[in-house]
C-alpha cells in the first residue's frame, strides 16, 4: 500500500533533495511547485 504524504512533508523532502543544485544557483519556488504538481499536489495546498 502506498504511503500518503502531506504537502508539507513533500515540500521539505523535495527542497531537501533538490534545494541546492551543484552549480550553486538558487532553487526557484516555481520549480518546487512544478515538482509538487508532478507528484499530485494541487496548487492551493502549496
- Give the three cell numbers for residue 16: 531537501
Whether the Cβ atoms of residue 35 and residue 18 lie closer than 8 Å to each other: yes
The H or E element spanning position 13 is helix 7-18
Note the pLDDT of residue 11: 84
Judge contact between 33 and 46, C-beta under 8 A.
Answer: yes
pLDDT (tens digit, 9 = 90+) per residue, 1-46? 456 778 888 888 888 887 777 787 777 888 888 888 888 888 787 7
| pTM tops 0.75 | no
Amino acid at each position: 500500500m502506498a504511503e500518503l504524504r502531506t504537502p508539507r512533508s513533500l515540500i521539505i523532502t523535495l527542497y531537501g533533495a533538490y534545494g541546492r543544485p551543484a552549480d550553486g544557483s538558487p532553487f526557484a519556488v516555481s520549480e518546487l511547485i512544478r515538482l509538487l504538481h508532478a507528484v499530485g499536489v494541487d496548487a492551493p495546498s502549496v
